[in-house]
Amino acid sequence: MTRHLVVAAAQLGPVARDEPRPAVVERLIALGRDAARRGAELVVFPELALTTFFPRWWTEPLDAADHWFETDMPGPATRPLFEAAASLGIGFFLGYAELTPDGHRYNSAVLVERDGTVVGNFRKVHIPGHEGNEPWRPFQHLERYYFEPGPAGFSVWNAFGGRVGMMLCNDRRWSETYRVMGLLGAELICCGYNTPVHYPPDPSQDILAGFHNQLVMQAGAYQNGTWIVAAAKGGVEEGSELLAQSSIIAPSGQIVAQALTTGDEVIVADCDLDWCDRYKKTLFDFARYRRPEVYTLIAEPHSPAHAPTGREPVPPPSEPAVAP
């Protein structure tokens, strides 16, 4: 008897700057209904799913942007989503901007079980972009102005009959994200993203946006023997083109479902959670094959002293670097 979980990624098309929260929540509920009708027990919504991707604009002072943030989850705007999902018997992952009672701002997500109870919360770890207004850009990417990095790192929860982890957008580009959750036994990782196709610091990467999206998630799934369910906010939002290509990826690294459009769209896949063990107990049997004693550098803060200076092997950080 294998553990099967039918999952959905609910891609959102653009959310306008002036689109009211209740209208967005109605769209989420419609996507959730579609997912439930197609048998899904878990639906993954995008990062910052309740609003437009507001880090594309500079706002001063910072608290003038507080209207983009949620102070409660569920709160008045999101309670209808929690209620609709519970009545459909479908759980969900939802990305949103979080403002805590003591004034911290995070790019967050909540994971909710099929009965409407909160499984856990996640705060984005890797915060991309820049801290200050950079008027030379066609649009800003001010996540580092609006959000603090999540201090808790990555976790995995027992939920949906398996071990479920969470990550948000830029987190998916970092191998450490998957490996930490892999070490915790993740069998399914939920991800939401808003990825502008144009990358002003190096536009040569623009044409590769879709390739890089697949590259990192397919590798992360395979190298850690886990399913990944990734939902985009796609399409041209307030003049900025966002990558779509929401996908569901198997522990083999294969894409089993992918969105065909850049708008509101649900994709569904039947995930055999026991399939993870084909990888976790063979090629990627961590206990048997990993060599953590020679990987210590990757958990050290980055230092230029670690960079090679010549042909000699670079010493580990505990030893002083000697000039060649």
Residues near ligand CDT (CB under 6 A):
47, 128-129, 141, 169-170, 173, 193-195, 199
Q: Cβ neighbours of residue 132 under 8 Å, at least 6 residues apart?
A: 145
Alpha helices in 208-289 (DSSP H): 209-224, 276-280, 286-289
Handedness of CA 63, 103, 131, 210 (dihedral sign): negative
Q: Which is nearer to ligand CDT, 185 or 200 (CB)?
A: 200
Of the pair 59, 194, the CB lying nearest ligand CDT is at 194
Strand 156-159's sheet: what is its strand order? Answer: 156-159, 162-168, 188-193, 227-232, 247-249, 255-258
Name the token pair of 225: 């023997």
- Provide the minimum distance between the beta carbon of 195 and ligand CDT in the complex, in angstroms, as a whole number: 4
> Would you please indicate which residues are annotated as catalytic (active-site) residues?
47, 124, 169
Separation CA 218–CA 6 (nearest Å): 19
Among the listed residues 99, 10, 93, the one whose alpha carbon sits nearest the alpha carbon of residue 54: 99
Residue closer to ligand CDT, measured from CB, 199 or 286: 199
Tell me the C-alpha distance between 158 and 184, whole Å.
Answer: 11
Q: Kindly tell me which of 18 and 202 has the beta carbon lying closer to ligand CDT.
A: 202
Task: List Cα–Cα distances, 250 to 48, 232, 284, in angstroms.
Answer: 25, 18, 15
Rounded to the nearest whole angstrom, what is the least distance from the CB of residue 131 to ligand CDT in the complex?
12
Q: Could you tell me where the beta strands, DSSP code E, fall in 40-169?
A: 42-44, 91-99, 105-112, 118-123, 156-159, 162-168
Q: Which is nearer to ligand CDT, 53 or 222 (CB)?
A: 53
CB nearer to ligand CDT: give 90 or 169.
169
Side-chain half-sphere CA neighbours of 312 within 13 A:
9
Distance CA(267)–CA(318), nearest Å, equals 48
